Amino acid sequence: MKEIVAVDIGGTHARFAIAQVDQGRVVTLGEATTLKCADHASLQLAWEAFARVVNRPLPKAAGIAVACPIKGDILKLTNNPWVIQPAWLPVKLGVDELILVNDFGAVAHAVAQVGVDSLQHICGPDIPLPEQGVTTVVGPGTGLGSAYIVRRKNGYFVCETEGGHIDFSPLDQLEDRILTVLRRRYRRVSVERVVSGPGLLNLYEAIAEMGELSVKARDDKALWTMALEGSDPVAAAALERFCLSLGTVAGDLALAQGGSAVVIAGGLGLRLAKHLPNSGFAERFVAKGRFEGMMSEMPVKLITYPQPGLLGAAAAFAEAYRQD
C-alpha cells in the first residue's frame, strides 16, 4: 500500500487529496481540498498551502492531472497563470515518484476504476461496462474531451485524443442552417463549437438568428440554467440540439475507436444526468446506417463520481507504478 497526493489542476481551481493505492488500484481517496489558483502564484505554493491544511508532511509521491496537453518542457494552462516545468517538479514538490496526466485522461482513468454505483445508465442495454475491449469516454465541459480505455485481462491503458475537434456534421435541415450561421463566425466549425459549455450559446444565438428572434446576450452559466429549467423556449431548443449532437458525436467516436461501450463525463455531465435520458441523445447515438444494430447493443453510461479528476490522477499513478 502506497500513500500519494492526488492533484487536479484546472483553469480556476486546484484540488488536492491524499490517496492510497495498491496493485494498480485506488484503495481510498481522502477528502478533497479546493484552492483557487488565483490565490497562489504557483503549483508549489498551492502544494505547500495544502500541506498546511492537512497539517502533516505530504507523501513523497504524486499523481497530477493538468488541464493542458502534457507535452514539452513547459506546460501552460488555459485561464490559469501557472507555468509548470515537469522536470523541476520532483525537487519543488519534494517527491520521488510522480506522474503527470492530461485532465481528461485522468477522467478516463477514473471511469476505468469506479464501481457500477458511480455509473448511471443512459441508453442501450443496461449491462456493466465490458471487462475487455474499448470503452469510449466523451466529456462536454469548457471544451469537449475525448479519450478511450482499452481493457485487457492484465489491466487497462488510457489513450487521450483530440476527438472534440472533429468536424461538426449536420444530420437534418435545421443543423444545415445552424452550420451556415456558425461558419460566418468560425473558419472551421468543430463539434466542440456545438457540444460544450460555450457551444450552447452558439446554438442559442444561431437558432434565434434563424427565427429572427431578439435575444439578449447571456453568459454561459445563466443560459445553461434557463435551458435546463426550460424557462426560455429558445434556450430549451438549443439544449435539445446539444443533446442530439452529443449523441451523434458519441456514436461517431465509438465507431472510430472500435468501442463496445460509451461513458459520458465532463463538467456538464452531472448537469445533464436527468435531461439526457429523456432527450434525442439515444436516437442519434444509434443512427449510424448499416451499423445501427451494433450501436443499439452498446451500453451508454454517465459517470456520477463527484471528483473524477482527483480519482483519475491517483488511478493514473497507481497504474503507472503497479507492482503486481
> What is the CATH classification number for the domain harbouring 84?
3.30.420.40
Q: Say whether 9 counts as a known binding-site residue.
A: yes
Q: What is the pLDDT of residues 218-243, one digit of tens each?
A: 788 899 999 999 999 999 999 999 99
Q: Assess whether 97 and 170 both reside in one domain.
A: no
Q: Say whether 304 counts as a known binding-site residue.
A: no
Q: What's the grid cell of residue 128?
A: 456493466
Q: Say whether 11 counts as a known binding-site residue.
A: yes
Q: Which residues contact 223 (CB under 8 A, 6 or more apart)?
A: 200, 201, 204, 235, 238
Domain for residue 254, yes or no?
A: yes
Q: Which of 180, 178, 268 is nearest to 220 (CA)?
A: 268
Of the residues 102, 126, 150, the one at which a domain ends: 102
Q: Say whether 107 counts as a known binding-site residue.
A: no
Domain for residue 107, yes or no?
A: no
Q: What's the grid cell of residue 256?
A: 472510430
Domain for residue 259, yes or no?
A: yes
Q: Which residues contact 83 (CB under 8 A, 6 or more apart)?
A: 42, 74, 75, 76
Domain for residue 138, yes or no?
A: no
Look up the domain containing 194 and give its range. Answer: 163-303
Q: Assess whether 93 and 195 both reside in one domain.
A: no
Q: What is the pLDDT of residues 109-166, one digit of tens each?
A: 999 999 999 999 999 999 999 999 999 999 998 889 999 999 998 889 999 898 999 9
Q: Percentage of residues in the chain with pLDDT exceeding 90?
A: 83
- Average pLDDT score over the chain: 93
Q: What is the pLDDT of residues 70-123, one digit of tens each?
A: 988 999 876 678 999 999 999 999 999 999 999 899 999 999 999 999 999 999
The CATH number linked to 232 is 3.40.367.20
| Lowest mean pLDDT segment, chosen from 162-166, 168-172, 185-189, 266-270 | 266-270
Domain for residue 117, yes or no?
A: no
Q: Assess whether 61 and 170 both reside in one domain.
A: no
Of the residues 102, 135, 151, the one at which a domain ends: 102
Q: What's the grid cell of residue 52?
A: 498546511
Domain for residue 263, yes or no?
A: yes
Q: Assess whether 176 and 278 both reside in one domain.
A: yes
Of the residues 102, 133, 153, the one at which a domain ends: 102
Q: Assess whether 272 and 186 both reside in one domain.
A: yes
Q: Number of structural domains, the chain?
A: 2
